[in-house]
Amino acid sequence: MTDREEKKDVYAEALTLHRTYHGKLAVQATVPLNTREDLGRAYTPGVAAVCRELERDPSLAYTYTIKGNTVAVVTDGSAVLGFGNIGGTAAIPVMEGKAALFKRFAGIDAFPICFAEQSDDIVKQIRNLAPVFGGINLEDIAAPRCFEIEEELQDLNIPVMHDDQHGTAIVVLAALKNACTATGKKVEDLRIVVIGAGAAGFAITRLLRCIGYESRVCQPIRELLVCDREGIIHRNRPGLYSNKYKFIIGEETNPAGRTGSIADALNGADVCIGVSGPGVVTGEMIRSMNSDPIVFAMANPVPEILPDEAVRAGAAVVGTGRSDFPNQINNVLVFPGFFRGALDARAARVTDEMKLAAATALASMVRHPSLDRILPSVLNRGVARAVADAVRKAAIASGVALIVTEEKVKRGGT
């Protein structure tokens, strides 16, 4: 069977699955509703007592309602997978899938919220939805709007995270830690090139700069360059001031002011992290890198360079976003456990310390990293528990945990 035939079979099977089950989610009551007494307690008149309690103290929603174990998976459909702007309705299957993964791996009740319009009112709309949710997972929203939305929602007193940014950054950092172990490289000696300055590229870059938190050093990485379609981003590049987020990249990376193309950036580099598009990296570029380079080519479904070509060019470790190649670098290793830990701590927001803790916990799930195994399987349920525990502790340590109770921890299974 050819790769094309296999994909056709997967697509046909997916259509049949979704048609048969009418999606992947359902709502299930957690209390008995078999007698008049059951109805009286669960609904009217008994529910009035609960409403009065919440009116008196809104924080009791975590005690009396689903809020403490519920996440909204929110999108406007503007940047869905590899399809781009396909709109809210077409995005429903992806958000449903994400919600199913939340439940499967972390016991979290998540629900897809797909907006019909891509309007400036999205922040207000999310605010109006927030009372019922303990966390907001922003998903598949195009840059730069995704940055602005996340920033404007940080005062909700619940964790709000754009997973395409931070989930990707966390799993990349975990993979990088183990790739260094497998190749004998040291993080502080690395010359790293990030290709792509969108949501994922921006978050990866900023989290890589945070590595020094662990050793109380500002930036241990030897060199960090970021490239977009125009080449290496540097602080003196014309027009940089028109994009706030690329301006930040220009200020926080490339202190030597290097200029040039992607090929120029990769010459002499140790690590290539691609979050851009298909085929932008060539074998010649890989050959120009330092010995035993690490290549994460994560564009989906077609990576920046195919693994076989990268290995032939000398790459020691190659990771992609795909499940049909070794070293899959996938957000599902992060977001269920991350939100589990944040909910268990009742974190008011997401901190860099929580992200770093998640990356360290994820990396530790591979006891003996090798060139073709730098991350655990996405089906390993122990991953979510380890990440959740690390995130919960980091939230407490960084002062953003509002309430931590053993009951909540036990309910989440972490």
Task: Report the distance separating Cα 325 and Cα 171, nearest Å.
Answer: 16
Instruction: Please provide the DSSP assignment of 355-387 as one string.
Output: HHHHHHHHHHT-SS-BTTBSS--TT-THHHHHH
Q: Are residues 285 and 268 in contact, defined by beta-carbon separation less than 8 angstroms?
A: no
Residue 21 is among the residues annotated as catalytic for this protein: no
Distance CA 164, CA 334 (A): 11
Strands 223-228 and 231-232: what pairing?
antiparallel
The DSSP code for 212 is G
Count of CB atoms situated within 10 Å of the CB of 143:
20
Whole-angstrom Cα distance, residue 241 to residue 247?
A: 6
Phi, psi of 32 (to 5 degrees): -70, 140
Closest among 346, 345, 339, 376 to 361, alpha carbons compared: 376
Q: Which of 7, 8, 11, 43 is labelled catalytic?
A: 43
In contact, 132 and 66? CB cutoff 8 Å: yes
**Could you tell me the two tokens for 207?**
């989290």
Q: Which of 24, 62, 67, 98 is catalytic?
A: 98
| Residue entry with tokens 């509002």 | 402
* 317 three-class SS: strand
CA 387/CA 355 separation, integer angstroms: 10
Q: Confirm whether 62 is a catalytic residue.
A: no
Transcribe 57-99 into DSSP letters. Answer: -GGGHHHHSGGGGEEEEEE-SSSBTTTBS-HHHHHHHHHHHHH
Beta bridge partners of 193: 225, 272
Which residue do the tokens 């944040």 mark?
A: 342
Query: What is the distance between the terminal CA atoms of the chain, rounded to a whole angstrom?
Result: 42
CB-neighbour burial class of residue 106 (10 A; exposed 0-12, middle 13-18, buried 19+)? buried
Active site (catalytic) residues: 43, 98
